[in-house]
A and B are shown apart, each in its own frame.
Chain A
Amino acid sequence: MASAPPSLVTVTENGLYCPPGDFYIDPWRPVATAVITHAHGDHLRHGSTRYLLAESGVAIASHRLGGEHRPEPLQYGERMQLGDTTISLHPAGHILGSAQLRIEHDGQVWVISGDYKRQPDPTCESFEPLGCDVFISEATFALPVYQWQPTPQVIEEIFRWWRANRERGLASVLFCYALGKAQRVLAELRAFTDETVYLHGAVGTLTDVYRRQGVEMLPTLPVTGEKKTDYRGALIIAPPSAAGTPWMRRFGDHSSGFCSGWMRVRGNRRRRGYDRGFVLSDHVDWPGLIQTCKATGAGRILLTHGYSDALARYLNELGIVAGALQTAYGDEEQ
């Protein structure tokens, strides 16, 4: 009887590990060689010796690592020998420079999706499904209640909310994750206006990195310490961590909104006390998950993040072998 082909990816205490290639994928502890799918904090951590990354993500990663490292760039689709494996990175559509990792070894192909979405996003390259034997997918929003509306519709809602607040003399404070979501909103809003938007410092520096890479976005100004600025009628983008802090006082009467896939469910918005929730996610939704898992043709699916168990069970019932992987990845949309 033929033995089962060896696992190309296993879970270790340091993170996902590829034994034949002797490298880690988005490790949560310092390691020798780390292949990074994208630069969000739970996937890119300090302290590893060597980082490999998609070329368009290097600038953000360098910024995040604070210049202590020069991550090594790989072009999308460029094949590279790593240990006994051949690896390549492919667009994941999550944020600028985000990638899926394809590992080939001994006739077997595994793909690790990283975080991804299927909706078009003007700030990054679109996801492309890759054929493989084993597909490791994120499952952050793996429940059928999570289905995204078309992006232009959500952006129009944001724009109308901003305008309605302006009519009432209110500032509009939109909370977005500082890396990716904020820049996506700034790029998408160009369809409606060319006005200047104010940015929290944490959003500002990352937006500068995006702009230097040629991503077109609305003009922006930093929210400064000066009290003179009149923010009535303005749109301000800030990270969720700024909500409820003294930093907010300068805006006076304002309406608050939050951009996240979790805003699809009313209770999530009300619990956080935002006035408005905009359902805009950089993660794949339920129909996208099913579609993608099928498109890879993979004989086995492994799931990380969120509702892994539910999706695994559903796929099993569809006749696709699937299971959950225990990882330490978080969810930046929380």
Chain B
Amino acid sequence: MKAFAALYEELDTTQSTNLKVAAMARYFREAPPADAAWATYILSGRRLKRFIGPALLKRWLIGEASLPEWLIDESYSSVGDLAETIALLTAGTAQAESADDTALADWIEDRLLPLREVDEETQRRTIVGWWRELPYRQCFLLNKLLTGELRVGVSQLLVTRALADVTGIERTELAGRLMGEWQPGPVFWQALHAAESPRTDPAVPYPFFLASPLEGDPAQLGERAAWQVEWKWDGIRGQLIRRASECHLWSRGEERITERFPELVDAAASLPDGVVLDGEVVAWKDGRIQPFALLQQRIGRKKLTAAILASVPVQFLAYDLLELAGNDLRAAPLRERRAELEKLLASATPILQLSPLVTAESWEELAAARADSRQRNVEGLMLKALDSSYGTGRQRGAWWKWKIEPHSFDAVMIYAQPGQGRRSNLYTDYTFGVWRERELVPVAKAYSGLSNPEVEQLDRWIRTHTVEKFGPVRSVEQTQVFELAYEGIAASSRHKSGIALRFPRIVRWRTDKPAAEADTLASLQAILDN
């Protein structure tokens, strides 16, 4: 694990993507294949599944550090990362390198994974033993492996860049080989290098192609006629796969969501074999799309009852065809893929529909159509170049999302608590309220939207204007007003305010506004009723 710890250190101490890619490539070349495969697995954001939970680790830490639990909590809330808190409290300050140089793969396969099979006390003794033995960096990494993602400023895109460097294989192809579920090991590592990719698992999706936000006038994109325009649906982006007489549905987060949507699986059975569709899962009722909040009720359920299936019916709105008759169509221009898609879905079931085109003929007319988005329960328009191939990840230029302006309102800050990770030593998580009579009712939590200097200024303000402390949370003087934007609003019985906002975020700090002029709960409820 030493070499991997050194790689981590290198990645963590530079902000240059070129240096990061170079460091990973060097590691991939020098490491044994099994280590390289595990490193790829971890760096691309995957985690060891069904492992020891954070609550258990925390309990063991309390026993090991001989500190009261509240002080461990205080430390954790200041550090913002459990793995790091454990390392800081157990590994001490000595940084002597340990003599142990067990390979990364052996660490994971021979030491960590077998822990799943033993009883809790054995787990505890083993892990606490490592906390005592390992030098700081390795102890930290071990805890990171136990608790989840590494988060070292490396995206899957950067990992693929480094792998492309090492293997000489196209990035797009590599991205495909990293999709779905795979077992890290020498076999996988060899397969990654193979000139031809034997796609053995029929469930494996293609990497999603993502749109960039369009800012400013769409006329900058040139001729309207060169663009295909669709509604931007407010649902779950998904890939529907029909191969080897099986159906699979993947979300954009590369999560297999097949079981959540049995009616889509049934509908996909009517497709010919060797077809992959890109589209949107939406809640659909009375001939129109429903708000995302309704779909969310269904996603949240552990068990899909007949009642929930009936109250939240769904549709798959297909907007792209990635594979037909087993052939990868992604390199073909969109106009050809669309033509094939229309042919394919001409006789499909009602649950499997074509995402319609918006046909307005000029940018001006499109702008007018976009203005109707809210009435249609959509988020705006998608603009896709008709001659574009289906790329990988977010590559600017070919696909744009032209979203409508979000709703916004003014709210007063009522609570603050420290953030996680890089914002752990600052108060960055805020709760905002709006007026009901003379009381501020919490309506939203927001983390993002302020600039770093503003965050630091606000942090100082919070520390000097605290009214009360509840553990890490502080209530503050109710004087600071912020404009918040959000994407959607829904009734909610779980919130004191009776409403739930989707993606609330800070637009700006309204230092010009007194708290009394912030919005009221009634004004938000009025939007809900519309």
Taken residue by residue from 419 to 453, chain B's Cβ proximity to chain A (1 for < 8 Å, 0 otherwise) reads as 01111111000000000000000000000000010
**B71 interface contact, C-beta 8 A:** yes
Contact A265 B92 (CB under 8 A): no
State which residues 394-441 of B face A: CB under 8 Å. Answer: 420-426
Contact with B along A240-274 (1 / 0, CB 8 A): 00000000000000010000001011111011010
Kindly state whether residue A149 has any CB partner on chain B within 8 Å: yes
Within 8 A of B (CB), among A150-179: 150, 153
Q: How far is the CB of B153 from chain A (nearest CB, A)?
A: 8
Closest residue on chain A to residue B425 by CB atoms: A268
A260, chain B: closest CB distance, angstroms: 11
**Considering the complex, which residues of chain B in the window 289-344 have a beta carbon less than 8 Å from any beta carbon of chain A?**
none
A266 near B74 with CB under 8 A, answer: no
Q: Is A276 an interface residue (CB 8 A)?
A: yes
Measured in the bound complex, the distance between the Cα atoms of B424 and A201 in whole Å is 32
Q: How far is the CA of A262 from the CA of B88 in the complex (A)?
A: 13
Kindly list chain A residues whose C-beta atoms are within 8 Å of the C-beta of B94: 149
Q: Do residues A143 and B75 form an inter-chain contact, with CB atoms below 8 A?
A: yes
Binds A, one of B12-20, B177-185, B269-277, B382-390: B12-20
- Interface: A317 (CB within 8 A): yes
Do A313 and B70 touch across chains, with their CB atoms under 8 A apart?
A: yes
How far, in whole Å, are A232 and B426 apart by their CA atoms in the complex?
35
Select B421's contact among A143, A264, A267, A310, beta carbons within 8 Å: A267
B1-45 interface with A by 8 A CB criterion: 12-15
A144 within 8 A of B: yes
| B75 x A267 contact (CB < 8 A) | no
**Contacts A148-B93, A270-B421 known; A265 to B79 CB distance under 8 Å?**
yes
Chain B residues within 8 Å of chain A by Cβ, number: 33
What's the Cα separation between A144 and B78 when bound, in Å? 11
B287 in the interface (beta carbon within 8 A): no
The answer to whether A314 touches B422, judged by C-beta atoms less than 8 angstroms apart, is: no
| A308 → chain B closest CB, angstroms | 12
Verify if A275 is at the interface (C-beta below 8 Å from B).
Answer: yes
In the assembled complex, the Cα of A328 lies from the Cα of B411 at a distance in Å of: 29
For residue A145, which residues in chain B have a CB less than 8 angstroms away from its CB?
75, 78-79, 85, 88-89
Task: Let me know if B95 is at the binding interface, CB within 8 A.
Answer: yes
What residues of chain B lie closer than 8 Å to A317, measured between beta carbons? Answer: 68
Also in contact, A265 and B424, with CB within 8 A (given A275-B14, A310-B71): yes
Inter-chain CA distance A267–B68, complex, in Å, is 24
- Which residue from chain A places its CB closest to the CB of B88 in the assembled complex? A145
B230 at the interface (CB under 8 A from A): no
The reply to whether A143 and B78 contact each other, CB–CB distance below 8 Å, is yes
Digitize B167-201: 1 where CB-to-A-CB distance is under 8 Å, 0 elsewhere. 00000000000000000000000000000000000
Cβ-defined contact, B95 with A149, below 8 A: yes
Q: How far is the CA of A101 from the CA of B180 in the complex (A)?
A: 66
Q: Which residues of chain A come closer than 8 Å to B15, judged between CB atoms?
A: 273, 275
Closest to A276 in B: B13
B68-104: contact bitstring with A at CB < 8 Å (1 yes, 0 no)? 1011001100111100110011001111000000000
Q: Which residues of A contact B78 (CB under 8 A)?
A: 143, 145, 265, 307
Instruction: Let me know if A153 and B67 touch, CB within 8 A.
Output: no
Q: Can you sample 12 A-B contacts with CB below 8 Å?
A: A143-B74, A143-B78, A144-B71, A153-B95, A265-B425, A266-B81, A267-B80, A267-B81, A270-B12, A270-B422, A271-B426, A309-B469
Q: CB within 8 Å of A: which residues of B?
A: 12-15, 65, 67-68, 70-71, 74-75, 78-81, 84-85, 88-89, 92-95, 153, 420-426, 452, 469
The 9 closest A-B pairs by CB, nearest first: A270-B422, A267-B424, A145-B88, A271-B422, A267-B422, A149-B93, A145-B75, A147-B93, A143-B75
Q: 18 other contacts beyond A144-B89, A145-B89, with CB at 8 A cut-off?
A: A143-B78, A144-B67, A147-B93, A149-B94, A150-B93, A264-B88, A265-B424, A265-B425, A266-B12, A266-B84, A267-B79, A267-B421, A268-B422, A268-B424, A270-B422, A271-B422, A276-B13, A307-B74
Binding site for B on A (CB under 8 A): 143-145, 147-150, 153, 255, 262, 264-268, 270-271, 273, 275-276, 307, 309-310, 313-314, 317
